[in-house]
Amino acid sequence: MTSLVLLNGCLRVDDNPLLSQARGKAAALVIIDQQAYFGRQYGLFRSNLLRLRAHLQAIQHLAQQLAQRQIGLIIRFGDTHSQLCELALKLGAEQLLASEPTAPDEYRALQHLPASVKLQLIDGNSLLSQQLRPDLATLSDRFTSFRKKLEPLLLVTAAEPEHTRAANWLSPDQVAGLSQQSVLQQWLGQTAATSWREGCWDEGSAHARLHYFIWQGQHILHYKDSRNALCGTDYASFFSTPLSLGTLSVRRCWQQIEQFEQQVKANDSTYWLKFELLWREFFRWQMRKYQARWFSKNGIAGPADFSSPRLTATQKQRFAAWCAGDTGVPFIDANMQLLNQTGLMSNRGRQNAASYLMYDLELDWRLGAAYFEQRLLDYDCASNWGNWAYIAGVGNSEARAFNPIKQALWYDPNADFVRQKLPQISAAGKAAHRPAPHARLLPQWRSWLDEL
Ligand SMILES: Cc1cc2nc3c(=O)[nH]c(=O)nc-3n(C[C@H](O)[C@H](O)[C@H](O)COP(=O)(O)OP(=O)(O)OC[C@H]3O[C@@H](n4cnc5c(N)ncnc54)[C@H](O)[C@@H]3O)c2cc1C
């Protein structure tokens, strides 16, 4: 039997069940989906060159790792579904092995394959093993119930051993004629590095980061206190980008944390990193449960409304200012500029930027989610849309509005972050947080201006 093994979402050799569970004659494949990179939603591109570059580098690294094991990697660009059908016919494949998706687009791409091709989905990126797989019909929509039910039972399965030779893989020479490797080189040449974090997200770099954050720097010991910082290198794990690309296994992260807890020290901070990984897990299962409902204006909370946001000229200006980091509220603008420059933003920054867009600027939350989708290096459909809907009160929580002045004073008391990102601000100390006269602010936050 010939199997096509689609490695999208699992761009790694370590703990990769797709590689270890393939049998018979097998061809390894990665498809860069045209729609995910060059498609649009609400008039916005769905990605940017920084993320494309990170993805291409991860693929290039994987191809090298596989080649060392005499495994060829077919690299294709285009519509995932059409590419799969074409290659299945060309190779006479009877089976397609793929990572179990979370997002509706990914599910769609795997539907309506040629009748001769049997689809096998393997969940390569979840903490919950097959035995703990939740029943979507009865899955709780509240994180706390989800966590309380599953956490005590959670036994993260041992990482998959590297049995990649169990299958008779097509070699690099055998796949050369099927792969568009040269396009990858060409694009990598064109998408110049623009971030200091450039190149840090392939499997090798992901493991180096994992080792550094947990073992070498032991930053994990202070994570609970540091995680609300707004910028820096070690205040949080920065695992999100390799997790979203699949260059890092979430089970490997979990195991490393537990090993550190057993061998070095366990404290509230080491637990808290696992707690955050459970949030990721929660949103993945929520996305599988409600699928396209996450893109409805009313989220999972009300009647489905997939109509595109309609903006007046003034609303268009407000949205453009938010995207550019030019709202006049320094705390929001500094965070948005960080996002635009690096593709990343702290969790605290994301919560505030999201809240400001929907409550202070009174714009449809889906526009903000779509802009984050375009800009984020660690974009993950479930975590992004799930968190946006959460703050909007149409997901797994009541509405949550953040007071940007209070938050600025709490998390950036000397305004160092704001001044670093917005050098045009000359005011000293906390006065640097003073919004411009034209800036919009909910009336209930205005009394906080006296604190500045
Ligand atoms: C509006 C909004 C949009 C977001 N969009 C994304 C996104 O597209 N992709 C993404 O990975 N995360 C997203 N998050 C969650 C969170 O902000 C990022 O995971 C985190 O900031 C990434 O940095 P880190 O890896 O250093 O996180 P750490 O603080 O070190 O956390 C460790 C890991 O836990 C998980 N995690 C932490 N917080 C959350 C959370 N709130 N929800 C889900 N998982 C979490 C991530 O996998 C993260 O890598 C979003 C949050 C908000 C409020």
pLDDT digits (tens, 9 = 90+) for 415-427: 999 999 999 999 9
**CA 240 to ligand 1 center in whole angstroms:** 6
**CA 2 to ligand 1 center in whole angstroms:** 38
Whether the CB of 209 sits within 6 Å of ligand 1 = no
**CA 157 to ligand 1 center in whole angstroms:** 23
Q: Supply the pLDDT for residue 196.
A: 41
* Residue 443 one-letter amino acid: P
Residue from 48, 357, 383 to probe ligand 1 pocket by mutation (most atoms less than 8 Å from CB): 383
Whether the CB of 378 sits within 6 Å of ligand 1 = yes
Res. 125: pLDDT tops 90 = yes
Closest residue to atom 53 of ligand 1, CA basis:
351
| Distant-in-sequence contacts of 417-423, Cβ < 8 A, 24+ apart | 417/230, 417/231, 417/334, 418/330, 418/331, 418/334, 420/231, 420/334, 421/231, 421/325, 421/333, 421/334, 421/335, 421/337, 421/338, 422/330, 422/333, 422/334, 422/337
Q: Which of 46-60, 187-201, 432-446 has the lowest mean pLDDT?
A: 187-201
Q: Supply the pLDDT for residue 1.
A: 86
Closest ligand 1 atom to 273 CA: 32
Whether the CB of 236 sits within 6 Å of ligand 1 = yes
Closest residue to atom 38 of ligand 1, CA basis:
276
**Full set of structural domains in the chain with CATH:** 1-124 (3.40.50.620), 126-158+202-295 (1.25.40.80), 313-451 (1.10.579.10)
Closest residue to atom 50 of ligand 1, CA basis:
384
Q: What mean pLDDT is predicted for residues 434-447?
A: 96
Q: What mean pLDDT is predicted for residues 371-376?
A: 98
Binding positions for FAD: 223, 378-380
Closest residue to atom 21 of ligand 1, CA basis:
347
Rounded CA gap, 435 and 143, in Å? 35
Residue 284 — very low, low, confident or very high, per pLDDT cuts 50/70/90? very high
Rounded CA gap, 92 and 189, in Å? 34
Residue 100 — very low, low, confident or very high, per pLDDT cuts 50/70/90? very high
Q: Supply the pLDDT for residue 185.
A: 77
Res. 16: pLDDT tops 70 = yes
Q: Supply the pLDDT for residue 11.
A: 97
Res. 312: pLDDT tops 60 = yes
Contact 342, 54 (CB under 8 A): no
Closest alpha carbon to 104 in 245, 243, 270, 286? 286
Q: Supply the pLDDT for residue 297.
A: 97
Rounded CA gap, 353 and 421, in Å? 15
Residue 68 — very low, low, confident or very high, per pLDDT cuts 50/70/90? very high
**CA 246 to ligand 1 center in whole angstroms:** 15
Closest residue to atom 6 of ligand 1, CA basis:
384
Q: Is the dihedral angle over the CA atoms 301, 303, 309, 312 positive or is it negative? A: negative
SS (H, E, C) the chain: CEEEEECCCCCCCCCCHHHHHCCCEEEEEEEEEHHHHHCEECCEECCCHHHHHHHHHHHHHHHHHHHHCCCCEEEEEECHHHHHHHHHHHHCCCEEEEECCCCHHHHHHCCCCCCCCEEEEECCCCCCCHHHCCCCCCCCCCHHHHHHHHHHHCCCCCCCCCCHHHCEECCHHHHHHHCCHHHHHHHHHHCCCCCCCCCCCCHHHHHHHHHHHHHHCCHHHHHHHHCCCCCCCCCCCCCHHHHHHCCCCHHHHHHHHHHHHHHCCCCHHHHHHHHHHHHHHHHHHHHHHHHHHHHCCCCCCCCCCCCCCCCCHHHHHHHHHHHHCCCCCHHHHHHHHHHHHHCCCCHHHHHHHHHHHHHHCCCCHHHHHHHHHHHCCCCCHHHHHHHHHHHHCCCCCCCCCCCHHHHHHHHCCCCHHHHHHCCCCCCCHHHHHCCCCCCCCCHHHHHHHHHC
Q: Which of 128-137, 254-263, 338-347, 408-417 has the lowest mean pLDDT?
A: 128-137
Residue 140 — very low, low, confident or very high, per pLDDT cuts 50/70/90? very high
Q: What is the pLDDT of residues 203-227, one digit of tens each?
A: 999 999 999 999 999 999 999 999 9
Q: How many beta carbons lie within 10 A of that of residue 115, not counting itself?
A: 6
Q: Supply the pLDDT for residue 338.
A: 96
Closest residue to atom 23 of ligand 1, CA basis:
238
Contacts of 431 (CB under 8 A, 6+ apart): 415, 452
Closest alpha carbon to 406 in 426, 435, 369? 435
Residue 47 — very low, low, confident or very high, per pLDDT cuts 50/70/90? very high
Name the token pair of 211: 């080792």
Q: Supply the pLDDT for residue 146.
A: 96
CA distances from 213 to 106, 260, 271 (A): 31, 11, 14
**CA 347 to ligand 1 center in whole angstroms:** 6
Whether the CB of 405 sits within 6 Å of ligand 1 = no
Q: Supply the pLDDT for residue 183.
A: 77
Q: Supply the pLDDT for residue 166.
A: 73
Whether the CB of 279 sits within 6 Å of ligand 1 = yes
Q: Supply the pLDDT for residue 180.
A: 86
Rounded CA gap, 55 and 188, in Å? 10
Whether the CB of 201 sits within 6 Å of ligand 1 = no
Rounded CA gap, 299 and 313, in Å? 26
Q: What mean pLDDT is predicted for residues 45-68?
A: 93
Res. 294: pLDDT tops 90 = yes
| 2-6/73-78 β-pairing | unpaired
**CA 383 to ligand 1 center in whole angstroms:** 7
Q: Supply the pLDDT for residue 363.
A: 98
Q: Which of 141-150, 161-170, 233-242, 243-252 has the lowest mean pLDDT?
A: 161-170
Q: What mean pLDDT is predicted for residues 357-364?
A: 98
Q: Supply the pLDDT for residue 195.
A: 46
Residue from 280, 351, 394 to probe ligand 1 pocket by mutation (most atoms less than 8 Å from CB): 280
Q: What mean pLDDT is predicted for residues 281-299?
A: 97
Q: Is the dihedral angle over the CA atoms 226, 231, 232, 236 positive or is it negative? A: positive
Q: Mean pLDDT for the chain?
A: 94
Q: What is the pLDDT of residues 155-199, one digit of tens each?
A: 777 666 666 667 899 999 999 999 987 777 777 777 665 544 555
Residue 49 — very low, low, confident or very high, per pLDDT cuts 50/70/90? confident
Closest ligand 1 atom to 240 CA: 49
